[in-house]
């Protein structure tokens, strides 16, 4: 037997865990800040995935994005915005015509009601301009806190809250940033550890990460830049001494 064949195989740089923990350990603000720093480096182009040129377009696109992919919404909106370029034009739309134009985004009857209700309210109560406050936005038909946060953060640059969608819910839980499952409580936990000027960006970072690596079915922890800090990681880096370094900063 050659010396090469008898040599012990090299130890892997990490140990593995079979399943995600049901209750990941909570992390503090210093770890949250390090998450943000690394995610910003990993996703320098993280931004809103809904195509838009102004607040009206973003509001319409966000309403359409309920239970639908952003890619699908972006296929529908160019024609829609050409036909209805502002809230006044949308308020005059025939419901059937609107339904046909947005059918492929799903739930098109409810979405048509929301779009028409929103457009009428914007015309009647805000002189056709999309309002810039959480209170005014959430009083528009079909507009909840999540939609309002999207518009305030991305169209107006106002960090009023953090958008909590399915990716933000899953990834923030795995990262130990929250134990809540309700969107309002998750947002309350996140705003405590994320600096306000990063609120809008932060949700884009988690959404990008949730799509690329921390996917729903089985996260790709071995490719994750946060795996040495994340309390849910399926791969736990091992230091040169053979001890796990999980939970410690690099
Ligand atoms: S290590 Fe990364 S991919 Fe794995 S659970 Fe944590 S955040 Fe998700």
d(Cα 11, Cα 167) in Å, to the nearest integer?
34
Ligand 1 pocket test, pick from 16, 172, 209, 230 with the greatest ligand atom count within 8 Å of Cβ, gives: 230
| Single pTM value for the model | 0.88
pLDDT in tens, 42-59: 999 999 999 999 999 999
Judge if the beta carbon of residue 213 lies within 6 A of ligand 1: yes
Which residues share a beta bridge with 15? 236
42 C-alpha to ligand 1 centroid (Å): 14
17 C-alpha to ligand 1 centroid (Å): 12
Using 50, 70 and 90 to split pLDDT, how confident is the model at 18?
A: confident
pLDDT in tens, 122-160: 999 999 999 999 999 999 999 999 999 999 999 999 999
DSSP string, 164-183: --HHHHHHHHHTTS----SH
d(Cα 104, Cα 73) in Å, to the nearest integer?
9
Residue 7 pLDDT > 80: no
pLDDT in tens, 164-211: 999 999 999 999 999 999 999 999 999 999 999 999 999 999 999 999
Q: Domain 14-44+163-237 belongs to what architecture?
A: Orthogonal Bundle (1.10)
Which pLDDT does position 142 carry in this prediction?
93
Q: Give the burial class of 137: count Cβ atoms within 10 A of its Cβ; 0-12 exposed, 13-18 middle, 19 or more buried.
A: buried
102 C-alpha to ligand 1 centroid (Å): 35
Annotated catalytic residue 124: no
Residue 4 pLDDT > 60: no
CATH number (3.30.420.40, 2.40.50.320, 3.40.50.300, 1.10.340.30) of 55-155 reads 1.10.340.30
- Angle among Cα 142, 165, 128 to the nearest 5 degrees reads 30
Distances (CA, A) of 20 to 176, 192, 230, 234, 236: 12, 25, 11, 7, 12
Using 50, 70 and 90 to split pLDDT, how confident is the model at 112?
A: very high
Active-site hit among 51, 70, 86, 165: 165
- The fraction of the chain above a pLDDT of 90, given in percent, is 86
Query: H or E segment at 236?
Result: strand 235-237
The residues of the chain that CATH labels 1.10.340.30 are 55-155
Ligand 1 pocket test, pick from 19, 23, 215, 234 with the greatest ligand atom count within 8 Å of Cβ, gives: 234
Ligand 1 pocket test, pick from 223, 233, 234, 236 with the greatest ligand atom count within 8 Å of Cβ, gives: 233
- Sequence-distant (6+) residues with CB within 8 A of 59 are 118, 130, 143, 147, 151, 155
Annotated catalytic residue 248: no
Is residue 74 classed as helix, strand or coil in its secondary structure?
helix
203 C-alpha to ligand 1 centroid (Å): 16
Which pLDDT does position 61 carry in this prediction?
98
58 C-alpha to ligand 1 centroid (Å): 30
Helix ranges, 194-247 (H): 199-212
The residues of the chain that CATH labels 1.10.1670.10 are 14-44+163-237
pLDDT in tens, 86-99: 999 999 999 999 99
Yes or no: say if 206 and 162 are a contact pair by the CB < 8 Å rule.
no
DSSP 103: G
């Amino acid at each position: 037997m050659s010396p090469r064949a008898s040599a012990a195989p090299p130890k892997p740089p990490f140990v593995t865990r079979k399943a995600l923990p049901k209750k990941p350990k909570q992390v503090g603000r210093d770890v949250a800040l390090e998450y943000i720093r690394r995610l910003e480096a990993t996703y320098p182009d993280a931004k809103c995935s809904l195509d838009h040129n102004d607040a009206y377009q973003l509001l319409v696109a966000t309403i359409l994005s309920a239970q639908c992919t952003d890619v699908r919404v972006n296929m529908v909106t160019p024609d829609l915005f050409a036909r209805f370029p502002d809230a006044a034009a949308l308020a005059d739309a025939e419901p059937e015509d609107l339904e046909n134009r947005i059918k492929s985004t799903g739930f098109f009857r409810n979405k048509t009601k929301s779009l028409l209700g929103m457009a009428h309210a914007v015309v009647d109560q805000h002189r056709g301009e999309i309002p810039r406050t959480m209170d005014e936005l959430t009083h528009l038909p079909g507009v909840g806190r999540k939609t309002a946060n999207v518009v305030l953060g991305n169209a107006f640059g106002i960090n009023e809250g953090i958008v909590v969608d399915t990716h933000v819910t899953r990834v923030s839980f795995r990262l130990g940033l929250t134990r809540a499952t309700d969107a309002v409580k998750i947002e309350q936990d996140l705003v405590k550890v994320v600096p306000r000027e990063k609120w809008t960006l932060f949700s884009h970072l988690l959404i990008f990460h949730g799509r690329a690596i921390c996917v729903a079915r089985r996260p790709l922890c071995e490719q994750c830049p946060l795996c040495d800090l994340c309390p849910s990681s399926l791969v736990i880096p091992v230091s040169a001494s053979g001890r796990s370094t999980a939970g410690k900063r690099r």
